């Protein structure tokens, strides 16, 4: 994406990116007896884009907290949970999730979701990237900081508090008590279509191609994402997950082995370099959306 254009930044608080502890000092880990039960979530209400994600994984089980009628008619059904059990979304017990998987699996099911390539060696090229601040809205900000010793990106989130808007803190894994970290952080640019103010269609169905940014190994790379059907998908009739490619639209771009976080934004969203290696993403909401 473009580097800083020199325009005045309206985000006076968040533009002074981050003065972060990048994880070199381990967090205090609470005793196992003090950790909460293993759960996954929060499980949120259904969105139109869920049907595209579910299609990446044939015969998978999509679980969501119900949906509005105009959305529900498009979504596959496997299991519903009750959204109002917890304010931030339903927390699904691990054993409950395992049972849903067992109940939905067919005896002759052949699961193969491989679609991307991985390499521990950093690709050539890219530009320096040590931090990424994500500005979705005034009370919806997050950040990433690269730790060269840990070779992954530490995740930070805001407090959703007007008194401290823009300030971020480590996001903690409730199962381990440690800060979340990911080897790959991907910013994926996709067309957003406003169906109603709170209902968006994100165009990630089959045979779409778009731009993306990959943050790995302290670098940022311009890449492509693709849901264009491969020869294998045509031959088998089975979809595969989204693929990440070089800018030639054909050659797989290697991700780093480990975990990947994907942030989906509009094509108009700006990613600019505020200082050496420190990047700011300013989300551009589609007109008519809330």
Percent of the chain predicted with pLDDT > 90: 59
Question: Sorting pLDDT into bands at 50, 70 and 90, what band is 20?
Answer: low
- DSSP assigned state of 28: P
Q: Does the pLDDT at position 214 exceed 80?
A: yes
CA gap 127, 220 in Å, rounded: 5
Of residues 177 and 275, more confidently modeled:
275
CA gap 19, 230 in Å, rounded: 44
Of residues 174 and 124, more confidently modeled:
124
User: Beta strands 192-196 and 199-202: pairing type?
Assistant: antiparallel
Name the burial class of residue 240, with classes exposed (0-12), middle (13-18) and buried (19+) by CB atoms within 10 angstroms of its CB.
buried
Specify the pLDDT at position 16: 44
- Is the CB of residue 244 less than 8 Å from the CB of residue 284? no
Average pLDDT, the chain: 87
Compute the average pLDDT of residues 55-72. 90
CA gap 251, 109 in Å, rounded: 30
DSSP helix/strand/coil, 32:
helix
Phi, psi torsion values for 141, nearest 5 degrees: -130, 150
Q: Does the pLDDT at position 24 exceed 50?
A: no
Q: Does the pLDDT at position 6 exceed 80?
A: no
Highest mean pLDDT among 77-86, 247-256, 281-290: 247-256
Q: Does the pLDDT at position 88 exceed 90?
A: no
- Is the CB of residue 82 less than 8 Å from the CB of residue 96? no
Specify the pLDDT at position 103: 86
CATH H-level superfamily of 32-36+115-282: YerB-like (3.50.90.10)
Q: Does the pLDDT at position 2 exceed 70?
A: no
Specify the pLDDT at position 86: 55
């Amino acid at each position: 994406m473009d580097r800083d254009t020199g325009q005045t930044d309206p985000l006076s608080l968040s533009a002074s990116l981050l003065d972060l502890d990048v994880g070199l000092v381990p967090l205090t880990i609470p005793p196992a007896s003090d950790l909460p039960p293993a759960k996954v979530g929060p499980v949120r209400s259904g969105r139109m884009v869920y049907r595209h994600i579910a299609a990446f994984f044939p015969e998978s089980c999509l679980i969501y907290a119900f949906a509005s009628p105009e959305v529900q008619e498009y979504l596959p059904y496997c299991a519903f949970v009750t959204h109002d059990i917890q304010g931030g979304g339903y927390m699904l017990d691990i054993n409950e999730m395992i049972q849903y998987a067992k109940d939905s699996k067919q005896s002759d099911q052949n699961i193969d979701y491989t679609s991307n390539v991985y390499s521990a060696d950093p690709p050539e090229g890219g530009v320096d990237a040590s931090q990424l601040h994500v500005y979705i809205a005034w009370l919806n900000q997050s950040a990433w900081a690269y730790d060269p010793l840990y070779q992954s990106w530490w995740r930070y989130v805001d407090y959703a508090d007007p008194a401290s808007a823009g300030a971020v803190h480590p996001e903690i894994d409730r199962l381990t008590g440690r800060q979340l970290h990911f080897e790959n952080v991907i910013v994926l640019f996709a067309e957003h279509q406003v169906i109603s103010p709170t209902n968006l269609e994100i165009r990630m169905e089959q045979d779409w191609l778009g731009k993306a940014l990959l943050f790995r190994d302290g670098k940022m790379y311009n890449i492509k994402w693709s849901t264009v059907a491969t020869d294998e998908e045509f031959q088998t009739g089975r979809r595969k997950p989204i693929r990440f490619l070089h800018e030639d639209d054909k050659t797989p771009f290697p991700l780093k082995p480990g975990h990947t976080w994907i942030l989906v934004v509009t094509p108009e969203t700006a990613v600019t370099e505020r200082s050496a290696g420190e990047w700011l993403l300013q989300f551009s909401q589609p007109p008519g959306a809330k």
